[in-house]
Chain A
Amino acid sequence: EPEVTQTPSHQVTQMGQEVILRCVPISNHLYFYWYRQILGQKVEFLVSFYNNEISEKSEIFDDQFSVERPDGSNFTLKIRSTKLEDSAMYFCASSEVVWGLPYEQYFGPGTRLTVT
């Protein structure tokens, strides 16, 4: 069964460093998402992406965040200058498009980001 994959599973970085989290969505999916879960808290929506542009973003998704689909298979989340409070689990999700609109979302296994 097709699944969303994410690399790395755990990333440790120093405060102020740039980090790129990678996701490979399900191959025929065209809508992509990033969610964040700070330890002990609920999962929060960050951003959705379709047709090479951001479809919607939350208040959390400020200028230090960016997303990109650099090729036909990867979807990345970049954090330019990491802060301690960026430490969290980051989930990628993807959905297929039906009649131009997103359908069911499938989540990846997550990347645990630790900022020291």
Chain B
Amino acid sequence: AQTVTQSQPEMSVQEAETVTLSCTYDTSESDYYLFWYKQPPSRQMILVIRQEAYKQQNATENRFSVNFQKAAKSFSLKISDSQLGDAAMYFCAYRTPWGTSYDKVIFGPGTSLSVIP
């Protein structure tokens, strides 16, 4: 069974600085999707960034970028120029491969990010 692990329950970063959130996962599949979701205090689930496993190039989305290491099954999120609005719970997630008849997203336990003014 697929699992997602986030070893950092809490992280903090100074405003305007850079922070990296770690994520590892376990799967026997070769093709799959990885995501980072942001959950602010409102508890809405917001997609931050998405990575297809077959793509070697790391995904980027403005100040957010990932370091995808497929062999190591590692998928970290880097937030540059941190802003107060980045403070939230961040979930790493794995999605079963497209092309399978069953489909679900498996979430990690989350990392709570605080941004210090």
Q: Give me the interface of A with B, judged by CB distance under 8 Å.
A: 31, 33, 35, 37, 41-45, 48, 55-56, 89, 91, 93, 95, 98, 101-107, 109-110, 112
A56 to B96, CA, bound (A): 13
A42 touches B102 (CB 8 A): no
A-B contact pairs, 6 of them (CB 8 A): A33-B104, A41-B109, A55-B103, A56-B104, A101-B99, A105-B95
A43 touches B104 (CB 8 A): no
Assuming the contacts A101-B99, A101-B100, A105-B95, asked whether A45 and B105 have C-beta atoms less than 8 A apart, the reply is yes
Q: Give me the interface of B with A, judged by CB distance under 8 Å.
A: 37, 42-45, 47, 50, 91, 93, 95, 98-110
A42 touches B104 (CB 8 A): no
A18 to chain B, nearest CB (A): 24
Query: Which residues of B sit under 8 angstroms from A107, Cβ to Cβ?
Result: 37, 44-45, 47
B44 touches A110 (CB 8 A): yes
A35 to B99, CA, bound (A): 21
A33 to B105, CA, bound (A): 10
B15 to chain A, nearest CB (A): 26
A44 touches B107 (CB 8 A): yes
A43 touches B99 (CB 8 A): no
Assuming the contacts A89-B43, A109-B44, A110-B45, asked whether A42 and B110 have C-beta atoms less than 8 A apart, the reply is yes
A102 to B47, CA, bound (A): 18
- Considering the complex, give the chain A residue whose CB is closest to the CB of B95: A105
